[in-house]
Structure 1
Amino acid sequence: MQFSIVIPVYNVAPYLHECINSVLTQNFTDYEIILVDDGSTDNSPIICDEYAGKYSQIKVIHKTNGGLSDARNFGIRKAQGNYLMFLDSDDFWKGKNVLSEIHDIIRENNPDIIIHELSSFYDLEKIIPRKFKDEGVQKKSYDFKRDLKGLVNNDIYYATACNKVIKTSIVKENNIEFPKGKLHEDVVWCADIIHYINNYALYSNPFYYYRKEREGSLTVQIRPKNIIDLIDIISEKEPLLSKINGGLSYLSYNYYIYLNSVNLLEEKQKEKYLKKLIELDYLLDYYPKNILSFKGKIRLWFYKLFGIRHAGLIEYNIRKFLNR
């Protein structure tokens, strides 16, 4: 079959019907849906089984809770399609021609990976498409290694698995998995696949609706583990990605996120991870400035001028005061 669509499921009963139905309504039918129930305690397992009983292209895996990475990895191992897609169970697709149009791209170009647009979905009144920048799409060679820096600098290649359609063989043959037990698993996975991709294609359609600010979502608030895991990941991936043109831009994009949030950590951990941030401060020179707002450019200049320790503490205290 052409596509394996992996959907990790954990306590998302209110959203699961919309998610699954958005795939079932596609006018292209050569696909399988792999629902990975990650130890849900609500009605999600029952919903999964009901769909599997009605539709032959739906498979269900019930497993003990291991987190998002573990659930996705289970789905990858069971995948039989030529291409892998990831759809989080609180998100959904918009439109019926998505798979047929992606199939046309594959038939024409046989790319290792297809990168598509997505939309941030807050509610029916607030939907924000994250469109490709025109200058990022034009004059591309579609040689992935050659174009990576431009793809990162123009906000096309960034850390999410859900806007990428990748050859299953690349993932399986190179044992590329999501890191179990870590947050920011997409930062790791999107870094790890870079080395193995040769050619790519772009699909200009923000059909993927990424649900924002959902109660219970891991992305709603920053916790110490968010900060620790991300800084560890950047430190770990820096040696390899420094050898790839555009690799440091990719890391810098993620490095920039928690520069002041390290001050949320307890003192001993704070010093440890602040030291790591300072050792990697050269990454600020690689930040993709094309995607920075005016405020973002001021913030970047501020950190370069005053240094990670002092600028981070100043910003942290200002944000703390404003949030009172």
Structure 2
Amino acid sequence: MEKLISVIVPVYNIEDYLPRCVDSLLAQTYQNLEIILVDDGSVDTSGVICDGYAKKDARIKVVHKKNGGLSDARNAGMDVATGKYIGFVDGDDWIDQDMYRSMYEACEKEQAQIAVCRYKQIRTSSGETFVPEIDASTGNSVLLSKTRALEAYLCEDEQYVIYNSVWSKLFLAEMVKDMRFPVGKNSEDIMFTTKAFCKMERLAYLNAPYYNYVLDREGSIMNEKVGQRRLRDEIPFWQEQISHLAKEGMTELSDKAAYRFYRRLLFYYIDFMENKDTRGFAGEIIKELKKEKENIVRIYKKDYVATGDKVRMKLVLAFPFAYYCAVKGYDKYVIPLRAKA
């Protein structure tokens, strides 16, 4: 008998997007679903839309609550979920009709505690759909061990592309039932995914983009105050990830996660320097790098650290603005020359 999947959908002021999302869930070829719509204090007609769907289909449950943010809404959904598996869909996105059947069957076939799929990026401003290149040679699903899956996730593997997002995954409920998202924070998926991966034994990887992610919806959390979000939420979560892996006894993976974190800080620095309104944040990134200098020196002696990364890190630690100028010069002169060659 097919097991129940609880799908948690946070809803906040998305009346123009919500019907498309819910309709995509009702159209799933896997029908044994518990669809939990969490109205997070919406002030538009989103709550009414939720109630209307609940009257039409008994699989839909609606939770109305005061506004507490995305994490709080997901937690409220987890509190009432009864499924054997738990999935998440953001209310302004939608999914392909075979998503949950494919992920469920992969978990059951591989005896995996988590299934992961890829996604399509939808740009609402232009109507453009960006579909990542998919290599279908891996077949329907591939079984990855805990260590291999963590390696792919932390090191941004090109063969097995695994994102932080919980909406690209299906979780065995008993494994995550005691976990909750940190309320009042953005980028909350980083630690939920990391902790879940540390608990699992096996992961089923599906090399197919079943999820449709709306990239630039006006009013979306991801579009708000990127500088503050990176400093207040993302950086502390990346640091917590590194610490958590070390506490779990995964020293090498912790160091590799730190390496990726330091590379990410270099990207943040250049990104902030590009705009005069965010250059103050660039200074904060340099402070963070210098604070981590001792650990950076240790990790950058590892064999897996690219030579170019070693050079870039030495330059930015000694002369941050010179590093910025070097990057801009490379982009302006070297890349066009290589394109012509």
TM-score (norm 1): 0.81
> Which residue is 2:241 aligned to?
237
- Distance, in Å, in 1 between the alignment partners of 2:27 and 2:38 is 20
- Distance, in Å, in 2 between the alignment partners of 1:45 and 1:285 is 55
Bigger Cα Rg: 2
Q: CA deviation at 1:50?
A: 0.6
Q: Once the two structures are superposed, what CA deviation does each residue of 1:201-228 show, in whole Å capped at 9, x if it has no partner?
A: 1122212000011111121251423322
Q: CA deviation at 1:102?
A: 2.4
With over 3 angstroms needed to count, the CA separation of the structure-2 counterparts of 1:131 and 1:85, relative to structure 1, is farther
Q: Is the 8 A contact 1:28 1:99 kept in 2?
A: yes
With over 3 angstroms needed to count, the CA separation of the structure-2 counterparts of 1:215 and 1:165, relative to structure 1, is same
- Please give the secondary structure, in 2, of the residue aligned with 1:118: strand
- Distance, in Å, in 2 between the alignment partners of 1:309 and 1:63 is 51
- Aligned pairs for 1:193-212 (under 5 A) are 193-212=196-215
Q: CA deviation at 1:315?
A: 3.6
Unaligned 5+ residue runs, structure 2? Answer: 332-341
- Distance, in Å, in 2 between the alignment partners of 1:167 and 1:62 is 25
2:312 aligned to which of 282, 300, 303: 303
- Distance, in Å, in 1 between the alignment partners of 2:223 and 2:197 is 28
- Aligned pairs for 1:156-235 (under 5 A) are 156-172=161-177, 175-221=178-224, 222-235=226-239
With over 3 angstroms needed to count, the CA separation of the structure-2 counterparts of 1:236 and 1:20, relative to structure 1, is same
Q: CA deviation at 1:84?
A: 0.9
> Which residue is 2:114 aligned to?
113
Number of equivalent positions? 308
Query: Which range moved further: 109-118 or 218-227?
Result: 218-227
> Which residue is 2:8 aligned to?
6
Identity %: 26
Unaligned 5+ residue runs, structure 1? Answer: 291-296
> Which residue is 1:276 aligned to?
288
Q: Is the 8 A contact 1:231 1:273 kept in 2?
A: no
Q: CA deviation at 1:260?
A: 3.9
- Distance, in Å, in 1 between the alignment partners of 2:106 and 2:138 is 19
Q: CA deviation at 1:89?
A: 0.5
> Which residue is 2:337 aligned to?
none
- Please give the secondary structure, in 2, of the residue aligned with 1:84: strand
Q: CA deviation at 1:246?
A: 3.5
With over 3 angstroms needed to count, the CA separation of the structure-2 counterparts of 1:310 and 1:37, relative to structure 1, is farther
Q: CA deviation at 1:8?
A: 0.3
> Which residue is 1:69 aligned to?
71
- Please give the secondary structure, in 1, of the residue aligned with 2:230: helix
Matched, 1:97 2:98: yes
With over 3 angstroms needed to count, the CA separation of the structure-2 counterparts of 1:316 and 1:270, relative to structure 1, is same
With over 3 angstroms needed to count, the CA separation of the structure-2 counterparts of 1:277 and 1:162, relative to structure 1, is farther
- Distance, in Å, in 1 between the alignment partners of 2:104 and 2:291 is 44
> Which residue is 1:127 aligned to?
129
- Distance, in Å, in 2 between the alignment partners of 1:106 and 1:87 is 18
Q: Is the 8 A contact 2:227 2:272 kept in 1?
A: no
